[in-house]
């Protein structure tokens, strides 16, 4: 693995958790239905053949989830617990500021979020570096598709970040269609 470049992995924890719970499962996820965050870093390190630095943004306005923070540290992430007023989207603000700060730094960037609020700041990083967006493909904001050269990674299908298969409905390329999956 190259020691020269770094892939900055910015995780919008609120967005991924909300999408998983509300839009995919319709309930609170069971332990095996939660992403294995270490797999995200390992996948990207292998895919782009360079070290990864994970920044995990959390809204800690009402509570500081210490056990989760300790787990993130053990997995190699830098947890970033944030607080603010009830009307402030603290995670979004912090990610936007981080994307803006990365303009002046070397390294590639992968945003783990579906949120269209980051499209402009992510687009500003398309200056020759590799840029990616990771999440659940069917929930990704369509405006990310207008950014030329962005790589897209599905957190379940590409990264295999889950121990359990999620109940998702996806478009299947005919070359990948296996009817036996539906004849159970």
Q: What is the β-pairing status of strands 77-82 and 151-154?
A: unpaired
pLDDT tens per residue across span 79-134 = 999 999 989 999 999 999 999 999 999 999 999 999 999 999 999 999 999 999 99
DSSP state of 64: -
CA distances, 90 to each of 55, 67, 87 (Å): 15, 21, 9
Where exactly are the structural domains of the chain?
2-182
pLDDT in tens, 8-19: 999 999 999 999
Inform me whether the pLDDT recorded for 2 exceeds 90. no
The pLDDT-based confidence of 4 (bands split at 50, 70, 90) is confident
CATH fold, domain 2-182, is Rossmann fold (3.40.50)
Percentage of the residues of the chain whose pLDDT score is greater than 90: 84
Could you tell me which of 105, 140, 152 has the C-alpha nearest to residue 124?
105
Cβ atoms of 125 and 102 closer than 8 Å: yes
Looking at per-residue pLDDT, the higher value among 130 and 183 belongs to 130
């Amino acid at each position: 693995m190259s020691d020269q470049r770094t892939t900055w992995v910015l995780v919008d924890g609120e967005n991924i958790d909300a999408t998983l719970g509300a839009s995919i499962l319709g309930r609170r996820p069971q332990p095996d239905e939660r992403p294995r965050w270490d797999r995200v870093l390992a996948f990207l390190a292998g895919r782009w053949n360079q070290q990864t630095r994970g920044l995990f943004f959390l809204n800690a306005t009402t509570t500081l989830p210490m056990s989760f923070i300790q787990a993130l540290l053990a997995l190699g992430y830098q947890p970033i617990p944030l607080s603010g007023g009830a009307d402030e989207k603290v995670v979004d603000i912090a990610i936007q500021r981080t994307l803006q700060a990365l303009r002046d730094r070397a390294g590639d960037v992968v945003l783990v979020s579906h949120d269209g609020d980051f499209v402009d700041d992510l687009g500003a990083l398309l200056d020759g570096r590799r840029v990616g967006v990771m999440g659940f493909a069917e929930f990704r904001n369509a405006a990310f598709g207008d950014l030329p050269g962005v790589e897209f990674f599905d957190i379940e299908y590409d990264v295999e970040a889950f121990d359990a298969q999620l109940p998702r409905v996806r478009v299947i390329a005919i070359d990948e269609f296996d009817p036996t999956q539906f004849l159970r």
